[in-house]
Chain A
Amino acid sequence: MASQNLQSVPAELSPEEQERERAGQAYFDRIIAEDSRIEPRDWMPEAYRRTLLRQVSQHAHSEIIGMQPEANWISRAPSLKRKAILMAKVQDEAGHGLYLYSAAETLGQSRDKMMQDLIDGKARYSSIFNYPAVSWADMGAIGWLVDGAAICNQVPLCRASYGPYGRAMVRICKEESFHQRQGFEILLELSNGTPAQKQMAQDAVNRWYAPALMMFGPPDDDSPNSKQSMAWNIKRFSNDELRSRFVGMMVEQVKVLGLSLPDPDIRFNEETKKWEHGPLDWNEFKDVLAGKGPCNAQRMERRRQAHEDGAWVREAAAAYAAKQAQKEHAA
């Protein structure tokens, strides 16, 4: 692994700088080889920093944009208990966004700039949040399938080589333990309810199943960055590996729900010992990623509006703090 990195020392550096770069790289390589953790002030290859910054900030944006489809149902939650649970969950997502922005900030980018990039359409977020949440059962399907897929992705990220990212993920995984369960229980309740409720639940599972599977990212042979991320111990398992594990879990859980997955091709491959699923529409995935999803414009507009509407409040608090500091200074 060390050999590939030597070439990353730019030639225009002075001999001393080149030496420092080499020493930094060697130190970095050793930490990664030992499966230890890189911390914010450590030397790190620029590509590692950029990759992480992109991944962590995208993850943060996904939490923040992901609040919207669920916040959409807080006011209409059909029982007060469900209203409280949903509110707490959406609020958690704001918290998770905050933890992740903090982790990304240690890589040298301000949250302000990340937020601005999101609003300016320069940053990506998980494209599943560009689908609409049109029924109450979607709250169940999002919790069960979308959070379920997210948790599958996130548990290995607790061991990501970048310390602040791993620590943020530990906290998030602990808190999210209720997110998937509450979704599952919404669906269970609906499935055991009236025929109309059960229909609502099945319809939601049908709509969220494929997008949830696509949350793991493109197939391994079409995921150029995965290899490097795995070499850097950011990613621990490949997209297809995680997707297959997830399918295996869902196959069992859906039985408890008394519902079905909209995929007749699911099977356990005895040879590879892996779960397989039917074909996914990767063209749709790319289209949604490219902004053609049903809610892309709406989600961005809502975030932009909240940010802009809040500008005078943020300015007021900053101005007040400056005045108070001045007063204290004078006293």
Chain B
Amino acid sequence: MTSEHSTDFAIEGHGDISVGVSGAGASGDGSASATRITPGNALRPEDIALEVRRGTVRPGEDVAEYALRLGDDALILAQRLGHWISRAPELEEDIALGNIALDQLGHARSFLTYAGAHWDKSEDELAYFRREPEFRSAHLFEQPNGDFAVTIARQFIVSYYQFELYERLTGSADATIAAIAAKALKEVDYHRDHSAQWVLRLAGGTEESRRRIIRGFRLLWPYVDEIFEDDELTARLAEAGTGVQPSTLREDFDRLTGEVLAEAGLAGEYAEGGLGLDRIPQSLGGGRRGKHSEHLGFVLAEMQVLAREHPGASW
């Protein structure tokens, strides 16, 4: 399924551009370069679009609906994370959050491209021309960035959830879903690590950082149950072997996040300086049915404004 590379990023062809360097100051012998760049050869949204155009892949309605959910989660999160670029606590973190945002955007594009094949719509038609109730993102993904602690808390929950989800989806009976999940799995594994490292540092850093990460978790934990909720669609997909029942991911999610939270000294009761997660009431959710948080409308208004000003235009 991977590709002959005509990448959008235009690296090939002049990947090793000559910059007129000679003698001292050149980067040493060509083979031991630390700047040799390649586009790699992973599954890209463009590869899926190509398969869709060729008619070699086309999901049924259930799988398309499912891909829409996964794609919308990733898209809204990418939109949120992209805001950090140029605003992060340190330049190194601008880059780290940028990488995560780009990973999520890549997953979103793959899932939406695949979903769109069912309705003969492109990723952009789905992203830019659906109305709010037609989106399928869960409330967790729509929550505002808040301070860095809130963003890390959201990343922590999301990446541990996505890891369990994608790990199981690599075995999906739907080859495209399995392929997208396989690519995404490796990336969200790193997202888990990034967020866990920061949870440890914020919880074990200063009094202020600990106060903030606790607040961040307590702000976001109400949206955890929703992402593990089963419904008729996931039941049918699980039956068909193409998707999974979200509830089946919960045990591993609880165990693995619990380990990190315990190491961070956050596992206990709130009164004792922990998060007191067991007692945090869970929100009703509804994102999968198009009932969204107050925030999504603003996210979409900003994301869609230009595209909608020029319907049918190409960019």
- Nearest Cβ on chain B to A66's Cβ, whole angstroms: 10
Q: Determine the chain B residues whose CB is within 8 A of the CB of A320 once the complex forms.
A: 200-201, 204-205
**How many residues on chain A are close to B (CB under 8 Å)?**
70
Closest to A186 in B: B315
> Which of A5-13, A78-86, A261-269 faces chain B?
A78-86
Q: A170, B19: Cβ atoms under 8 Å?
A: yes
Q: A313, B202: Cβ atoms under 8 Å?
A: yes
Q: Mark A278-322, 1 if CB is under 8 A from B, else 0.
A: 000000000000000000000000100110011111111111100
Closest to A86 in B: B82
Q: Check B271 for interface membership: any CB of A closer than 8 A.
A: no
Indicate which residue in B17, B98, B102 contacts A173 across the interface (CB closer than 8 Å).
B17
Q: Which 3 A-B pairs have the closest CB atoms?
A: A310-B89, A316-B205, A316-B209
Q: A36, B98: Cβ atoms under 8 Å?
A: no
Q: Check B228 for interface membership: any CB of A closer than 8 A.
A: no
Apart from the given pairs A159-B21, A170-B27, A313-B148, 8 other A-B contacts in the complex at a CB distance below 8 Å = A78-B307, A79-B315, A88-B98, A90-B86, A98-B92, A166-B21, A197-B313, A305-B87
13 sampled A-B residue pairs with Cβ under 8 A: A75-B82, A84-B106, A87-B102, A87-B105, A91-B98, A98-B95, A155-B20, A167-B27, A175-B37, A182-B10, A193-B313, A310-B148, A312-B206
> Which of B121-129, B155-163, B177-185, B231-239 faces chain A?
B121-129
Q: Check B278 for interface membership: any CB of A closer than 8 A.
A: no
With known contacts A76-B302, A194-B313, A158–B21 Cβ distance under 8 A: yes
Q: Determine the chain B residues whose CB is within 8 A of the CB of A189 once the complex forms.
A: 314-315
- A interface, by DSSP: helix, strand, loop or mixed? helix
Q: Check B2 for interface membership: any CB of A closer than 8 A.
A: no
Q: B204, A76: Cβ atoms under 8 Å?
A: no
With known contacts A74-B85, A94-B86, A313–B315 Cβ distance under 8 A: no
Cα-based distance from A95 to B95 in the complex (angstroms): 7
Q: A75, B302: Cβ atoms under 8 Å?
A: yes
Q: Determine the chain A residues whose CB is within 8 A of the CB of B89 once the complex forms.
A: 306, 309-311, 313-314
Q: A78, B128: Cβ atoms under 8 Å?
A: yes
- Nearest Cβ on chain B to A274's Cβ, whole angstroms: 20
Closest to B24 in A: A37
| Residues of B217-235 contacting chain A, CB below 8 A | none
Q: Determine the chain B residues whose CB is within 8 A of the CB of A1 once the complex forms.
A: none
Q: Check B279 for interface membership: any CB of A closer than 8 A.
A: no
Closest to B147 in A: A309
Q: Determine the chain B residues whose CB is within 8 A of the CB of A152 once the complex forms.
A: none
Q: A158, B205: Cβ atoms under 8 Å?
A: no
Indicate which residue in A64, A77, A197 contacts B91 across the interface (CB closer than 8 Å).
A64
Q: Determine the chain A residues whose CB is within 8 A of the CB of B54 once the complex forms.
A: none
Cα-based distance from A178 to B14 in the complex (angstroms): 9
Closest to B75 in A: A80
Q: Check B63 for interface membership: any CB of A closer than 8 A.
A: no
With known contacts A81-B8, A90-B98, A320-B200, A310–B88 Cβ distance under 8 A: yes
Cα-based distance from A311 to B10 in the complex (angstroms): 37
> Which residues of A line the B interface, CB within 8 A?
35-37, 64, 67-68, 71, 74-85, 87-88, 90-91, 94-95, 97-98, 101, 136, 155-156, 158-160, 163, 166-167, 169-171, 173-175, 177-178, 181-182, 186, 189-190, 193-194, 196-197, 302, 305-306, 309-320, 323
Q: B303, A75: Cβ atoms under 8 Å?
A: yes
Q: Check B101 for interface membership: any CB of A closer than 8 A.
A: yes
Q: Check B272 for interface membership: any CB of A closer than 8 A.
A: no
Q: Check B137 for interface membership: any CB of A closer than 8 A.
A: no
Q: Mark B296-315, 1 if CB is under 8 A from A, else 0.
A: 00000011011100100111
Q: Determine the chain A residues whose CB is within 8 A of the CB of B205 once the complex forms.
A: 315-320
Q: B25, A177: Cβ atoms under 8 Å?
A: no
Q: A136, B88: Cβ atoms under 8 Å?
A: no
Cα-based distance from A71 to B81 in the complex (angstroms): 12
Q: Determine the chain A residues whose CB is within 8 A of the CB of B8 once the complex forms.
A: 81, 84-85
With known contacts A309-B89, A313-B89, A94–B98 Cβ distance under 8 A: yes
With known contacts A306-B88, A314-B89, A159–B315 Cβ distance under 8 A: no
Indicate which residue in A82, A98, A169, A178 contacts B10 across the interface (CB closer than 8 Å).
A178
Cα-based distance from A65 to B60 in the complex (angstroms): 47
Q: Check B212 for interface membership: any CB of A closer than 8 A.
A: yes
Indicate which residue in B22, B83, B91 contacts A75 across the interface (CB closer than 8 Å).
B83
Cα-based distance from A163 to B102 in the complex (angstroms): 33
Q: B35, A171: Cβ atoms under 8 Å?
A: yes
| Residues of B54-105 contacting chain A, CB below 8 A | 75, 78-79, 82-83, 85-95, 98-99, 101-102, 105
With known contacts A91-B102, A306-B86, A312–B25 Cβ distance under 8 A: no
With known contacts A36-B24, A94-B98, A71–B9 Cβ distance under 8 A: no
Q: B306, A76: Cβ atoms under 8 Å?
A: yes
Q: Check B48 for interface membership: any CB of A closer than 8 A.
A: no
Q: B310, A84: Cβ atoms under 8 Å?
A: no
Q: B206, A316: Cβ atoms under 8 Å?
A: yes
Cα-based distance from A239 to B151 in the complex (angstroms): 45
Q: B310, A197: Cβ atoms under 8 Å?
A: yes
Q: A302, B14: Cβ atoms under 8 Å?
A: no
Q: Determine the chain B residues whose CB is within 8 A of the CB of A178 once the complex forms.
A: 9-11
With known contacts A78-B128, A87-B85, A94-B85, A315–B315 Cβ distance under 8 A: no
- Nearest Cβ on chain B to A258's Cβ, whole angstroms: 15
- Nearest Cβ on chain B to A201's Cβ, whole angstroms: 11
